[in-house]
């Protein structure tokens, strides 16, 4: 089954690298959520995704793809595909040169007899923020409906873990992570595989990260029987003594939760900076 998911993914990537992005539409669900480093906000729904891809037709060309350590984890009718991706250009001497370096998360769902992408998150490997960023922030009014049911439970787990994180304690995130969790963020040179690798990464920052305010921008939860896919944009802000903002760090966050005997647990996490670009200035 893993080979089947990879074949679907590669079929779209082969068309993409030849200048045709429309295969991604063909293999995407109607309610797809899509994020990449060029976007200020997620693209929600196939219609908006189509409008995003159409102007790219005939503009992107390269010679080959390289998938690094692709992995597919199945949770009922949900498949979580993760890999590092390199696009390759062929040099005059016949050798291939890597020209882009990506973290990739694709969440597939088996819908009416076919595997379709319901969530995509692309980010550059080891990336940093631009010097400045302008974005529109939605303001929730009093009459907006709060999340309920499983979505509310997922957000309770997420906010509880991040409340501890902002005070220097990353163990809250570990407590809600499954043993098989996979993980990307802005500093990891490759995907982390498993709870032990994540703990080693979190141990490096224990007691070192502190900020005053956390903002969850328009969280969206795609809920199924055995899985839930959470996406939100996140601002971690540090305040000056007078209450003004000293610094604000903007993030895209994808969390894939699965229902286990111990409750809902994160099985995949992908954090990236909004408009985050490679630290060496390349793509």
Q: What is the pLDDT of residue 34?
A: 98
pLDDT bin (cut points 50, 70, 90) of residue 142 is low
Question: What is the Cα–Cα distance from 64 to 25, expressed in whole angstroms?
Answer: 21
Q: Give me the residue spans of the domains in the chain.
A: 2-128, 149-278
CATH domain 2-128 topology: Nuclear Transport Factor 2; Chain: A, (3.10.450)
Give pTM, 2 decimals. 0.94
Average pLDDT on 182-203 reads: 97
* Residue whose structure tokens are 């896919």: 229
User: For residue range 79-118, what is the model confidence (pLDDT) as tens digits?
Assistant: 999 999 999 999 898 899 999 999 999 999 999 999 999 9
Please report the pLDDT score of residue 281 as a whole number: 45
Beta bridge partners, 35, equal 121
CATH topology assigned to domain 149-278: Nuclear Transport Factor 2; Chain: A, (3.10.450)
Question: Is the per-residue pLDDT at 141 higher than 80?
Answer: no
How far is 173 from 162, CA to CA, in rounded Å?
7
pLDDT 10s digits, 237-280: 999 999 999 999 999 999 999 999 999 999 999 999 999 987 65
Query: Quick check: do 2-128 and 149-278 share a fold?
Result: yes
């Amino acid at each position: 089954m893993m080979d089947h998911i990879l074949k679907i993914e590669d079929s779209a990537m082969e068309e993409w690298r030849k200048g045709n992005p429309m295969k991604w539409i063909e293999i995407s669900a109607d309610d797809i959520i899509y994020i990449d480093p060029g976007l200020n906000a997620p693209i929600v729904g196939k219609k908006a995704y189509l409008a995003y891809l159409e102007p790219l037709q005939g503009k992107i060309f390269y010679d080959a793809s390289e998938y690094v350590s692709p992995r597919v984890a199945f949770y009922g009718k949900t498949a979580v595909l993760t890999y590092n991706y390199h696009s390759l250009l062929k040099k005059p001497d016949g050798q291939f040169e890597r020209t882009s370096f990506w973290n990739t998360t694709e969440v597939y769902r088996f819908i009416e007899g076919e595997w379709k992408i319901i969530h995509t998150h692309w980010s550059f490997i080891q990336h940093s923020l631009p010097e400045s960023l302008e974005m529109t922030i939605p303001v929730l009014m009093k009459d907006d409906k709060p999340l309920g049911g499983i979505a509310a439970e997922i957000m309770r787990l997420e906010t509880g873990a991040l409340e501890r994180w902002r005070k220097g304690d990353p163990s809250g995130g570990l407590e809600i992570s499954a043993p098989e969790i996979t993980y990307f963020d802005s500093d990891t040179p490759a995907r982390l595989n498993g709870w032990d690798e994540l703990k080693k990464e979190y141990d490096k920052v224990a007691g070192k990260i502190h900020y005053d305010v956390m903002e969850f921008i328009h969280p969206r939860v795609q809920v199924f029987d055995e899985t839930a896919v959470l996406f939100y944009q996140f601002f971690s802000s540090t305040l000056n003594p007078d209450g003004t903002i000293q610094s604000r760090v903007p993030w895209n966050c994808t969390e894939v939760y699965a229902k286990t005997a111990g409750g809902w647990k994160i099985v995949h996490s992908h954090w990236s900076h909004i408009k985050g670009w490679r630290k060496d200035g390349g793509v």
